[in-house]
Structure 1
Amino acid sequence: MIILVTAKTFTSSWYHNLIFTIVILTLLYLSTTDFVSQVIYPIALIGLLPLLLVLPRHSFSIGKVVVELVIMGFFFFGLQHITKGLGTGDIEFILMTDLIGGWELTAQIVLIGCLLTLIPALIKRNSKLPLIPGLALGFILRLLFCSN
């Protein structure tokens, strides 16, 4: 998988390659910490911010982004309170993807991540599984292999 990601993201621009390397390493770190200890360090999410420099952002306005983040934050924290299954780190990751790519990209990443997490959840029915590895893989798959 790493070879495929490297081949797909490699360009002649060292700047672009460095940004994707930072983002992939950040996703790997977040996935590992969530899988091993069910902890997400919010400061590690800063490693995703360099994507703002290379991803096209349509109609970027600070007010619109803030309103979008507040609405999504209330929705996901309400969902966390009701279901007790969604962790705070999962919500922070989802809000960071919203900040980076907008709600359409975030919805696609969450859908892909949940579908990828559903496979092991069907095998291990009564155990709590981390969501960040699925979201991170969904993040990579969406950014690399889906049309913009």
Structure 2
Amino acid sequence: MASGQALPDAPAGSSPAHHASALLTFPGRDLASAPAARRFVRDTARSRGISPRMADDLETIAGELVANALEHSDSGTIAVTCAHTAGTVTISVIDEGHGPVPVAALGTPPDPEQEHGRGLLITDALADRWGTRETGRGQVVWAEIITG
């Protein structure tokens, strides 16, 4: 990808001049992909000089978004990007699914006995902004943290 070119998964309105970006693809039907994505994002963030606290938040977001893709998309592969600009870090998870991300009841916490359903609530709490969009090949869920 040419320097200064926008990443295909970057959120609308984000700066096209990325200082650093990384992409890794994981098996879409393998539960080990979520912890592997967490490690990838943590290591990438730390190598870019992101603060340990922010790297922890990015790692958590990546794990939650990949877990959602594993549970809801039935994708053969899931790609994770970590893009770092002068003022933001954006995590994007690209899957082969289509349709809206299950955002039902974002304002309503799941039942305390429920084992699932907190991923987007956690993402919403940790990210400065996040969203979804369809691509020609699937769904992108992204989350952005302001670094400056």
TM range (shorter): 0.3 to 0.5
More helix by share: 1
More strand by share: 2
Which one has a bigger Cα radius of gyration?
1
- TM-score relative to the length of structure 1: 0.36
- TM-score relative to the length of structure 2: 0.36
